[in-house]
């Protein structure tokens, strides 16, 4: 049985989607699927509500070239493809990727129909992000330990000061 890399990728992303967002009950459209461009689409109000973002956020990502909604006069029409790209953008932001990194990843959809390059890039980006988070986690653990030690020492000092004050009070 031949494995379709695009379907495999989107099945993985769909499982990640289900674990990480409130949009888990929605189908994640394939942002490489041009047929999703002409699906009737959603207006900015519906798209913003579905994604849990503001109109301004949608316009911001459009200005950055990350999504390209169709136009009907002055009205933006967001296709399933645009919604899927926004879901990936929002997930990337939650995971700490920069807009530049997210844009590079999304641009690979158009450049590599097999998605091999995209998957290799994704693995590299995830590995780098994991290393950074592991370093940050180690630093946080050190800071937490220091704060716990300081809290314990301060508590012991307070107990000593309270005991000292109690001894100094005149007997009644």
DSSP readout, 18-63? HHH-GGGGS----TT-GGGGGS--B-HHHHHHHHT--HHHHHHHHH
**Fold classified for 5-130:** Multidrug-efflux Transporter Regulator; Chain: A; Domain 2 (1.10.1660)
- Write down the domain spans for the chain: 5-130
Report whether pLDDT(3) > 90.
no
pLDDT at 2: 46
Choose among 133, 103, 130: nearest CA to 118: 103
The most confident of 28-37, 39-48, 68-77, 152-161, by mean pLDDT: 152-161
Q: Residues 6 or more apart from 103 whose CB is under 8 A from it?
A: 64, 65, 66
């Amino acid at each position: 049985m031949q494995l379709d890399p695009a379907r495999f990728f989107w099945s993985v992303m769909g499982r990640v989607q289900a674990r990480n967002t409130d949009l888990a009950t929605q189908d994640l459209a394939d942002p490489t699927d041009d047929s999703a461009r002409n699906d009737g689409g959603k207006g900015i109000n519906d798209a913003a509500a579905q994604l849990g973002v503001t109109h301004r956020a949608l316009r911001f990502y459009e200005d950055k070239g990350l999504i390209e909604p169709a136009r009907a006069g002055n009205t933006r029409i967001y296709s399933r493809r645009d919604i899927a790209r926004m879901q990936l953008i929002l997930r990337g932001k939650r995971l700490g990727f920069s807009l530049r990194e997210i844009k590079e990843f999304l641009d690979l959809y158009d450049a590599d129909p097999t998605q091999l390059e995209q998957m290799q890039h994704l693995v590299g980006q995830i590995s780098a992000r994991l290393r950074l988070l592991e370093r940050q986690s180690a630093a946080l653990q050190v800071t937490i330990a220091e704060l716990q030690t300081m809290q314990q020492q301060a508590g012991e000092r307070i107990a000593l000061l309270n005991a000292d004050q109690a001894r100094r009070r005149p007997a009644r």
